[in-house]
């Protein structure tokens, strides 16, 4: 009995240390965003600001480029989530419930594509977007990532467990394949959609390299590119950088709080072994 209690205490102690290590950078970032510039570089450093100020947030929100960058990131991220879920669910549905020629080969290609680093395909993707005339457009940022390999794989693994008899019954009643996907597959896939929506949103919201290459107009830059632009060669505006970083984290924080149940259920429900 005592041994079990000691194990539980040690586990909770380990988790507490781990949580502290993870949260400390975010807490320090938040603390810095409420400090004056003079206190940011004071020694010894103070974790809790001696004098709280909202000046950094006020200056950040007043910057029209920050507002536009925030809007651009929301447009790109939400559009990618919407179109990405549609494409991945359709592809996952096909791989899970249809038999067609070279199915195993195509699915193997999807799996292998997850192993290719993004930096390897940056130049070919840029040339492709340039040929299509999509440079400096939102769609140029979204288009290459509509069919995400992991999203297709995850949806396929999730949809495999749906009974084939359910789909056959719908076909006997005269339902079209589009109707089956829209009225049966989509409602049953809400947990998987919740997981992928969070992953897709976070991936696009935090993307830096690709938007920096494709979006050449300053008014079309994303929030990550905007924050990167604050790091100058001779001077860094730490106040706006810290406040902007806190505001950039906010949508992800709210998203995970709102969908934590769907994420947990979707991850466990999608863990199917054939």
Q: Domain with 90 in it: what CATH number?
A: 1.10.3720.10
Q: Looking at residue 268, what is its pLDDT? A: 62
Q: Is 201 exposed, middle or buried (0-12, 13-18, 19+ CB in 10 A)?
A: buried
Q: Looking at residue 200, what is its pLDDT? A: 92
- Residue 7 domain flag: no
State the residue range of the domain holding 231: 54-269
Cα–Cα distance measured from residue 240 to residue 238, given in angstroms and rounded to the nearest whole number:
6
- Residue 14 domain flag: no
Which residues 6+ apart lie within 8 Å of 36 measured at CB? 51, 53, 55, 239
Please give the share of the chain, as a percent, with pLDDT higher than 90.
32
3-state secondary structure of 106: helix
Which residues 6+ apart lie within 8 Å of 45 measured at CB? none
Condensed to tens digits (0 to 9), the pLDDT of residues 138-153 reads 999 998 888 889 999 9
DSSP state of 231: B
Condensed to tens digits (0 to 9), the pLDDT of residues 193-221 reads 988 998 899 999 999 889 999 998 888 89
Ramachandran sector of residue 52 (left: φ over 0; alpha: ψ -120 to 50; beta: rest): beta
Question: Do 47 and 138 belong together in one domain?
Answer: no
Asked whether 163 and 100 are in contact (CB, 8 A), the reply is no
- Residue 265 domain flag: yes
Question: Do 159 and 30 belong together in one domain?
Answer: no
- Residue 82 domain flag: yes
- Please state the domain count of the chain: 2
Residue 271: pLDDT over 70: no
Q: Is the pTM of this model over 0.95?
A: no
Query: Stretch 76-89: mean pLDDT, rounded?
Result: 93
Question: Do 48 and 155 belong together in one domain?
Answer: no
């Amino acid at each position: 009995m005592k041994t079990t209690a000691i194990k539980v205490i040690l586990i909770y102690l380990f988790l507490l240390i781990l949580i502290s290590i993870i949260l400390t950078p975010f807490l320090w970032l938040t603390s810095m965003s409420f400090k004056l510039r003079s206190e940011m570089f004071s020694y010894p450093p103070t974790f809790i600001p001696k004098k709280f100020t909202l000046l950094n947030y006020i200056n950040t929100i007043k910057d029209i480029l920050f507002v536009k960058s925030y809007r651009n990131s929301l447009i790109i991220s939400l559009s990618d989530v919407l179109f990405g879920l549609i494409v991945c669910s359709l592809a996952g549905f096909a791989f899970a419930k249809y038999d067609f020629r070279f199915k195993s080969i195509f699915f193997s290609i999807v799996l292998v594509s997850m192993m290719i680093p993004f930096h390897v395909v940056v130049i070919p993707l840029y040339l492709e977007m340039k040929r299509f005339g999509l440079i400096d457009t939102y769609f140029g940022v979204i288009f290459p990532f509509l069919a995400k390999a992991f999203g297709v794989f995850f949806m396929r693994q999730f949809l495999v467990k749906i009974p084939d008899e359910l789909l056959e019954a719908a076909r006997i009643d005269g339902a079209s394949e589009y109707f089956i996907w829209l009225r049966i597959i989509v409602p049953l896939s809400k947990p998987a959609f919740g997981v992928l929506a969070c992953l897709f949103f976070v991936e696009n919201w935090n993307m830096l390299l690709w938007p920096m290459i494709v979006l050449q107009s300053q008014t079309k830059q994303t929030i990550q590119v905007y924050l990167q632009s604050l790091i100058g060669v001779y001077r860094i505006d730490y106040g706006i950088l810290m406040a902007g970083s806190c505001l950039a984290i906010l949508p992800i924080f709210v998203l995970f709080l709102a969908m934590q149940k769907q994420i947990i259920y979707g991850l466990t429900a999608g863990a199917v072994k054939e």
